[in-house]
Amino acid sequence: MDAVIKGKATAETEPFKRPSRDEAEDAVRTLIAWAGDDPKREGLIDTPGRVVDAYEEWFEGYTQDPAEYLAKTFGDVKGYDDIVMLRDIDVESHCEHHMAPFLGKACVAYMPTEKVVGISKLARVVEIYAKRLQTQETMTSQILNAIQESLAPHGVAVLIDAKHECMTTRGVHHPNVSTITTQFTGVFKTDKELRERFMRLAGK
């Protein structure tokens, strides 16, 4: 997890460098103290290490490339020319605004041209983008674009339905509200009947 993340830093011309593990654990101690507790007490003494371990798992998507998972395709589909769809893919992510979890399900479909990809790879693409900080809207577009660019299908459809804890456990405190985002390309965008079929199969 020592990668250098390119993007805006304090100085516009310098790339952002990931802090060391020790620095990350010190930051957790600071937050514990800011919350009003003693990071040196017995129940919290090992918490910084556990939090950093959890962050490595929650945000491992930064170290993975979706294109690598979509690179291996299969051309022998015996004339199959209809929707390939995965439904109810678990989404476990964190919003970039409060770093609070949002949890839900994703449905992903594409209309293949001459090649298909292993179905587990589609679920992996969802997982990779979920394990990064972003908005649900951004993640929906990222998943769709990765599939469109790698497979060049006739069209792609993505739907995500999730509950955001920044809304359910703080702020407006509406625990039963979910957010639905959709994105379409190609035939899913131009063919209303096909798009409606996707929504029915997705249970919406």
Q: Which one-letter amino acid corresponds to residue 143?
A: I
Cα angle for residues 30, 35, 41 (degrees, 5° grid): 70
Separation between Cα atoms, residue 86 and residue 104, nearest integer Å: 14
Which member of 23, 97, 114, 196 is catalytic? 97
Model pLDDT, residue 13? 65
pLDDT tens profile 159-201: 999 999 888 888 888 888 899 999 999 999 999 999 999 999 9
Copy the structure tokens of residue 143. 């998943």
| 44 contact partners, CB below 8 Å, separation of at least 6 | 32, 37, 38
Which member of 94, 95, 134, 183 is catalytic? 95
Model pLDDT, residue 174? 85
Average pLDDT over residues 76-98: 91
Model pLDDT, residue 189? 97
Tell me: pLDDT of 2 over 50: no
118 contacts 82 by C-beta, under 8 angstroms = no
Tell me: pLDDT of 68 over 50: yes
Model pLDDT, residue 3? 46
Catalytic residue flag (residue 173) = no
Rounded alpha-carbon distances, angstroms, from residue 141 to 11, 149, 172, 178: 29, 12, 27, 18
Catalytic residue flag (residue 60) = no
Which member of 25, 127, 136, 154 is catalytic? 136
Model pLDDT, residue 98? 93
pLDDT band at residue 69 using 50, 70 and 90 as cut-offs: very high
Which member of 23, 68, 92, 96 is catalytic? 96
pLDDT tens profile 111-143: 999 889 999 999 999 999 999 999 999 999 999
